[in-house]
Structure 1
Amino acid sequence: MTATIAYDRPVSNLIDKLSATGHVTHKSYRKTSVTLHHNAGRLSHQGALDLWKKRPTSAHFDVDAAGAVAQYVKVNEYAWAVGNVAGNQSSISIEMANATLAPNWTVAEATWKSAARLAGWHFAKVIGVRPSKSNLFYHHHWSSTICAGPYMEKIYDKVLAAAQEAYDRFKDSRPVPKPGTEPFPGASFFHAGRKSPIVAAMHHRLVAEGCNHYQSSAGADVWGPGDVKSYAAWQRKLGFEGDDANGIPGRTSWDKLQVPNV
């Protein structure tokens, strides 16, 4: 099963079910913005899937009336969402369920706040810049439509502020271990950037295998804070997927990591 994003809240996985329709374009692009939509109905996650099965439309995510999140398309892939090729290539689309229908197309606070938080996560973890009016859009930015509706238009500044708040929190945060996860004995060395034979060995192997996410210089034997991404990349090389490749050195990945005669 294709893994969802490593979000800190549950994400329902509908990626493979939408992919089975055959109209998902499995080609990766660099994402530089997030686009919010309303789905013109009080749709559940399954309702959105059923609709997108009938016609070649899609979005990366949907947020339902209660604020729950589902993923349909891998983040870096093309979703048929904004009616514009450049927009579909460069933007991550998040649909939102409506609380009421025409003419106002209101969206519940739980829904838009969850969508803004999710947008902030993507700006912090995928795009790499703070959300602003130049990169957090509504659908009508890309094509001739009223989406995401009159109500969302009125509260854009609140949505942007919520996305920025989430970005600021996610940008400086470290992944939180799952309950029951036993940290490895040298975790403090890893996070504090202190010398450790095992960390040095990990460094050597990361460089040797050409890990694209390795962030320290080739000759370093001390890792500074912020190398959670490097450890997550190494976990993926060890075969971990999804939330298990979270950049937290747990007991299982620690055991797999150790190199004899170090």
Structure 2
Amino acid sequence: MKNWNTLEADVDLIMNTHYTPGRNGRQIDKVIIHHNAGNLTIRGCYDVWQTCPASAHYQVQTDGTIGQLVWDRDTAWHAGNFAANTTSIGIEHADMTSDPWTVSEACLDNGAHLVAAVCKYYKLGRPVWGKNVFGHKDFSATACPASLAGSQHAAYMARALYWYDQMTGTALAPAPAPAKPAPAVPNIDALADAVIRGEYGNGAERRNRLGHLYDAVQAIVNRKLGY
């Protein structure tokens, strides 16, 4: 963020569709967190939401960069529940791994910092899950926000409390230990190039060697070869 206190994002890339101007007379009283179910950039989210009837106020990239895509004063389409949309700030987080989904250390820390900053700016109080911070699945039939409500939930909320107390100067929460780094994301495009060069064989051999990445890699191979 350029400025945590004023919620000035690193990048502004504002949607021109798939959001509702204004807040329908409602006040912001919560943050709803999401995961991408993929490793999207700010531009990637913008492009997806141009054709998909969805949006969120902020995207946190794997490297921690934060982009604003819908102004806070407007209603983003992120919770699958219009009443919840009108009273919330939606924050998306890029995943660094899949199966299981996890986010990077930088994404987790800056996402939690943003939650704290939103709670401070809108006078929501210390971040508390189920009170002023929720997951997407609290409003829709979905597994989102995946690890942020599961394996990385405790670390995420500890960071949010830490940053809120740092920003407000209240009784400071102890600095949380860094989350265990997630393993690096395989470079699918590079794997596709290796397949084209014949390094992964054909048929069953290729499928066995690529494992759960086979479908994603093969789709890129087919695209590159014009199939």
Q: Same fold (TM over 0.5)?
A: yes
Corresponding residue to 2:146 among 144, 149, 164: 149
Kept after mapping to 1: 8 A contact 2:7/2:118: no
2:210 corresponds in structure 1 to: none
- Deviant stretches of 4+, over 3 Å: 4-10
Amino acid paired to 2:115: A
**Structure 1 residues 145, 162: CA separation in 2 closer, same or farther (over 3 Å shift)?**
same
Kept after mapping to 1: 8 A contact 2:42/2:59: yes
After superposition, give the CA deviation of every residue in 1:68-114 in whole Å (9 maximum; x if it has no partner). Answer: 0000111132110011122111111100001012x311111110111
Q: How does 1:1-262 map to 2 (within 5 A)?
A: 7=6, 10-15=9-14, 18=15, 20-21=16-17, 23-28=18-23, 29-101=26-98, 103-133=99-129, 134-150=131-147, 152-172=149-169
Kept after mapping to 1: 8 A contact 2:7/2:117: no
1:8, 1:27 → 2: CA distance?
18
Q: Structure 1 length normalisation: TM-score?
A: 0.59
Kept after mapping to 2: 8 A contact 1:123/1:129: yes
1:234 corresponds in structure 2 to: none
1:9, 1:60 → 2: CA distance?
12
* Partner SS state of residue 170, structure 1: helix
**Structure 1 residues 57, 127: CA separation in 2 closer, same or farther (over 3 Å shift)?**
farther
Structure 1: runs of 5 or more not aligned: 174-262
1:52, 1:5 → 2: CA distance?
25
Kept after mapping to 2: 8 A contact 1:61/1:93: yes
* Partner SS state of residue 38, structure 2: coil
Higher RCO (CA 8 Å, separation ≥ 6 residues): 2
Kept after mapping to 1: 8 A contact 2:5/2:117: no
Name the larger-Rg structure.
1
**Structure 1 residues 162, 86: CA separation in 2 closer, same or farther (over 3 Å shift)?**
same
Structure 2: runs of 5 or more not aligned: 171-227
Q: Structure 2 length normalisation: TM-score?
A: 0.67
Kept after mapping to 1: 8 A contact 2:70/2:76: yes
